[in-house]
Amino acid sequence: MMSASATPIDPQPAAAFDRVTPARGRVTELGVLRSEWTKLYSLRSTRYSLLTAAAMTIGFGVIAAAANVSRWGSMSAADRAAFDPLATSLLGVRFGVLAIGVLGVLLITGEYTTGMIRSTMTAVPKRLPVLWAKAAVYALVALLVSVPSALIAFFAGQAILSGHHIQIAFSHPGVLRAVIGAAVFLALAGLFALGLGAITRNTASGIATFAAVMFVIPPLITILPSSIANSITPYLPSNAGDALMQIGHHANTLSPGAALAVFAGYVAVVIAVAAGLLIARDV
């Protein structure tokens, strides 16, 4: 006969274990930053995409410089007068934008694809620190890659052009600002893509949207009546980015300062929308 003082047996021991949660320290922004850096660094796609962005930025600039040198003798006087040695060596930036944009999308959509986003949001219940950390880490990494890439592209291109004495000096007014502007263009494009990825939560949709905004819409605008096209074109993200890499006055383009404000505004808008959706959605 069972004693009245016997310890009762829990009829649902498994459920009791399920209710146990591990002790957890206070979540700090520094800890979230460290976590996002670890995730970024550990992805093989990060190294491949950044390497591709650097290779495109440098490689296409070198190819453009070599191509212009090879045909310099046959170029017309008008073509020679319009030749821009700075734009030639920075031509690859427009191609590097695609690679750095794809990585920006993958950084966040990859977590949705694998389901790891649930673990991330469980660890950081407030959610928004995750988005801020992803943006901050990627902005830093993108700049660390894009600044040397733009500098190498410039100096390599100018070394090739110097064979025909058609190079531009790094000390020429505005050149340093334009080269750094090219690097900023790449970094902002990456953040823009990251915001689009956070909004769409799908890799294919995020990349397609980024490619459409940066590469498809601009040429389509040119089929509009010129009065309308000229009013819209300077404010497109890709054209604002191009203006960051230019020196001197160009028709239908913004000043570098205005271009930076416009592109940064696009980035702020998509990140803000992504933040709002991150709070509103279940995950």
Per-residue confidence at 283, pLDDT binned at 50, 70, 90?
Answer: low
Predicted confidence (pLDDT) at residue 22 exceeds the cutoff of 80: no
Is 4's pLDDT higher than 60?
no
Q: What is the mean pLDDT of residues 76-105?
A: 94
* Structural tokens at position 107: 């950084």
Q: Which amino acid is at 83?
A: F
Q: Please report, in angstroms and rounded to a whole number, the separation of the first and last CA atoms in the chain.
A: 53
pLDDT higher at 64 or 6: 64
**Residue 114: both structure tokens together:** 């694998």
In sequence order, what are the residues at sequence separation of 6 or more whose Cβ sits closer than 8 angstroms to the Cβ of residue 158? 65, 85, 89, 167, 168, 170
Close Cβ partners of 266 (under 8 Å, ≥ 6 residues apart): 192, 237, 240
pLDDT of the residue at 119: 85
Candidate from 28-32, 48-52, 256-260, 268-272 with smallest mean pLDDT: 28-32
Model confidence, pTM:
0.87
| 85 and 166 Cβ atoms separated by less than 8 Å | yes
pLDDT digits (tens, 9 = 90+) for 203-259: 999 999 999 999 999 999 999 999 899 999 999 999 999 999 999 777 788 999 999
pLDDT of residue 65: 96
Stretch 139-144: mean pLDDT, rounded? 96
Do residues 75 and 157 lie in contact, with contact meaning Cβ atoms separated by under 8 Å? no
pLDDT at position 3 is 44
What span, in angstroms and rounded, lies between the C-alpha atoms of 243 and 250?
A: 9
Lowest pLDDT segment from 30-44, 46-60, 180-194, 249-263: 30-44
Q: What's the length of the chain? A: 283
pLDDT (0 to 100) of residue 20: 33
Using the predicted structure, report yes or no on whether residue 76 has a pLDDT greater than 80.
yes
How far is Cα 95 from Cα 103, in angstroms, rounded to an integer?
A: 14
Cβ proximity of 85 and 69 under 8 Å: no
Amino acid identity at 26: R
The total of other beta-carbon atoms located within 10 Å of residue 174's CB is 14
